[in-house]
Amino acid sequence: MSSPKHERTSPDGVGAVPYLPLSSDEEAAASEQSIGKLVGDATQHLSTLVRAEIELAKAELAQEAKKALKGTVFFLIALTVFLYSTFFLFLLIAEGLSDWWGIRWPAFATVFGLMLITVGATAFLGWRKVKKLRAPERTISSVKETAEAFKRKPAEDDDLPSKQG
């Protein structure tokens, strides 16, 4: 993080996010600085900028995750009520069959049997889909290639033209 002087709190109070000042009175006065000092400042500012971008992304994702969680809770409540309502649907079907057939227990047994067949069929289809899952091979190979690129030393790059001066 940058110094507290270079932090701002968002209007909704999420937290401090570091930022880079566009100009500084101290730096404007010191117009004759060494190249090393300038490179050091640039490196420090770049590091602060990257950290600020990461903090901003975290803050935005946290806000969106809270919104998604609230929406998910409402969907879960609706799903729970729907699932409890299906009991009455099956009861209605069984009562309709019993009025049609004139005998009550075979109607309820038929509805129960159809429910078990539906459960078995959907469980089988789900098992087949889960069985086909594989590891993310392209992602794994991409991460390995990236790691190898970072391990490679600059001296190993034979394709680069040599400087002639």
Report d(CA 52, CA 17) in Å as an integer: 6
User: Residues, the chain, total?
Assistant: 165
Return the closest-CA partner of residue 1 out of 16, 26, 18, 14. Answer: 18
Supply the pLDDT for residue 40. 83
DSSP assignment of 36-68 equals: HHHHHHHHHHHHHHHHHHHHHHHHHHHHHHHHH
Supply the pLDDT for residue 51. 87
Supply the pLDDT for residue 29. 47
User: What separation in angstroms does the CA of 142 have from each of 85, 133, 145, 147?
Assistant: 48, 19, 5, 9
Rounded to 5°, angle at Cα 19 from 69 and 38: 145
Q: What is the CB neighbour count within 10 angstroms for residue 105?
A: 10
State the amino acid at position 162 in one-letter form.
S
CA dihedral 29, 34, 40, 45 (to 10 degrees): 30
Supply the pLDDT for residue 1. 44
pLDDT per 10-residue tile (average), the chain, 165 residues? 52 58 55 78 85 87 89 94 93 94 93 95 94 85 82 60 52
